[in-house]
Structure 1
């Protein structure tokens, strides 16, 4: 593949780098510790990979070399957690006086707005 009996010498490497640069290509080795690729049903994990990024006229291509481990993808479960906001008496009085409503109405509006004063006032203002 390489001239010179298949041996690769540093001078050839410099010539190749110069040719690549002339064609608008630039290559750089990255010091990656771990690379993870998430697929639909599995995850590929490369420990201590050799990663090279090649920039060709603004388009970057990443090359990863190393041994990959396949890891089963765990299903992520997101639980809805209901948070109860404690409404203070000061907030109730402020909303009540701003909107001219009873304290019970102000408290209900604050609870529906999760304690957000501005939202409660806007709800009662309509």
Structure 2
């Protein structure tokens, strides 16, 4: 927000406090931003809340994964269930988190990512390379 350049962090905090700006770190495990085109899901993001004269602003730092609109709510449960069932999972099934990862890295829809993973027998690197 401010171009602190090489300013001492303690001095910056003092200045912000004098201007009535409170900064608070939030221990967020997951942040979901829902859009018309799809959802952005931040896992283990750094979230900072700034309160300046009654106006709250949230800053999210992290790398999001893109999922289909509305599917982010169930994605956490699906990831946890996939992790728990990983040993008993069918070898032919492509995990949804692998599809999401390939789709994000290659910048393609999840349907194309799933097809590429099926063509490469679940090899993430080969699927990404084939899509690029």
Q: Normalization by structure 1: what TM-score?
A: 0.50
Say if 1:58 and 1:74 are closer, same or farther in 2 by CA, change over 3 A.
Answer: closer
Deviations 1:48-81 (A, max 9, x none): 0000001101100000000100001259xxxxxx
**In structure 1, C-alpha distance between the alignment counterparts of 2:70 and 2:15, rounded to whole Å:** 46
1:13 CA drift (Å): 1.5
Partner residue, 2:45: 49
Contact kept in structure 1, 2:39 and 2:70, CA below 8 Å: no
Question: Is 1:2 aligned to residue 2 of structure 2?
Answer: no
SS across alignment from 1:16: helix
**In structure 2, C-alpha distance between the alignment counterparts of 1:36 and 1:59, rounded to whole Å:** 21
SS across alignment from 2:28: coil
Q: Which runs of 4+ in 1 moved over 6 A?
A: none
Aligned match for 1:21, one of 17, 40, 47: 17
Partner residue, 1:34: 30
**In structure 2, C-alpha distance between the alignment counterparts of 1:24 and 1:74, rounded to whole Å:** 38
Partner residue, 2:68: 72
SS across alignment from 1:70: strand
Give the length in aligned residue pairs: 67
**In structure 2, C-alpha distance between the alignment counterparts of 1:67 and 1:36, rounded to whole Å:** 12
Q: Normalization by structure 2: what TM-score?
A: 0.48
**In structure 2, C-alpha distance between the alignment counterparts of 1:70 and 1:16, rounded to whole Å:** 35
